[in-house]
Amino acid sequence: MKMYMFEAGVLKSKQQYFTLNKGIDKDFDVPVPFALIDHPKGKVLFDTGNALETVHHKEEHWGSILAAYDPVMTEDQWCANAIKKVGCAPEDISYVILSHLHLDHAGGVGHFPNAKYIVQRDELHFAYVPDPYMKAAYIRKDFDKDVPWVILEGWRDDGFDLFGDKAITIHFTPGHTPGHQSILVNLEKSGPTFLAADSCYTTDNLQNGTLPGLMWNAGETVRSVERMRLLQDAHGVTIMTGHDPEAWKSVKQAPAYYD
């Protein structure tokens, strides 16, 4: 099994959106990561980054949220194109696991014709009727598509084992949004690696308990990060954060891979 990490461009932003009350108005350009896992039983994407429309029509596609998060992405960095650089076509993808449906994660929904899309029920519901403060982060035209959804049910499905061999397990990590999920990838040489996505943006959120600047529920956010720290400290799991410009510098990017 191989895991490739990709960057679907960056979001030009400010630090306080990622670390609450820290770095007010400080420029903070964060990576938009997604992963391709090549498992013997199927190829899996974890997240899909921004929509292709953000390359040429971002004002029209993203609207008011551009004031806080400005995407800079090339056509080659868009998920369905980027995977071609490791010899993978959109038709080859069997599963797309979506951490959540925010605009910098759900931009590739509907572009993988043979894939099932794995999402939490709470996320899908919230994405259609979000609380007002989070409405701008969900672009309905990105995810309102007639694709084959696989719906997971929160704690009941926590630890869902995708291929039945513990290679990729899906973990409920609510807090950032009601239906956020992360994955644990059990790599042979690199060891167990937890792709947190937005349940843990940065190393500061992980190690120091700094709250993120945007969240649905603070208590759930803290609990999800605490479980990650336990995985790290007690099980030696590597935690890969979701939008940390510093940590991202040491991540191997495709075509290099983790195995």
Q: Return residues touching Zn ion (CB under 5 A).
A: 104, 198
50 or 193: CB nearest Zn ion: 50
Give the single-character DSSP code of 258: B
In order of 23, 111, 215, the CA distances from 26 in angstroms are 5, 35, 20
Q: Which of 86, 142, 87, 149 is nearest to 111 (CA)?
A: 142
Bridge-based pairing of strands 116-120 and 2-14 is: unpaired
104 or 142: CB nearest Zn ion: 104
Nearest approach, Cβ of residue 31 and Zn ion (Å) = 10
Nearest approach, Cβ of residue 232 and Zn ion (Å) = 21
Contact between residue 96 and residue 48 where contact means Cβ atoms under 8 Å apart = yes
Cα–Cα distance measured from residue 180 to residue 178, given in angstroms and rounded to the nearest whole number: 6
Contact between residue 35 and residue 46 where contact means Cβ atoms under 8 Å apart = yes
Sequence-distant (6+) residues with CB within 8 A of 195 are 35, 46, 99, 182, 183, 184, 185, 240
Q: Which of 204, 200, 245 is nearest to 28 (CA)?
A: 245
Nearest approach, Cβ of residue 112 and Zn ion (Å) = 20
142 or 198: CB nearest Zn ion: 198
Nearest approach, Cβ of residue 16 and Zn ion (Å) = 15
Nearest approach, Cβ of residue 134 and Zn ion (Å) = 12
Bridge-based pairing of strands 42-46 and 27-39 is: antiparallel
255 prior amide bond cis, ω within 30: yes
72 or 187: CB nearest Zn ion: 72
| HSE (side-chain half, CA atoms, 13 Å) at 130 | 22
Nearest approach, Cβ of residue 105 and Zn ion (Å) = 6
38 or 104: CB nearest Zn ion: 104
Nearest approach, Cβ of residue 103 and Zn ion (Å) = 8
133 or 234: CB nearest Zn ion: 133
Cα–Cα distance measured from residue 256 to residue 238, given in angstroms and rounded to the nearest whole number: 18
Nearest approach, Cβ of residue 47 and Zn ion (Å) = 8
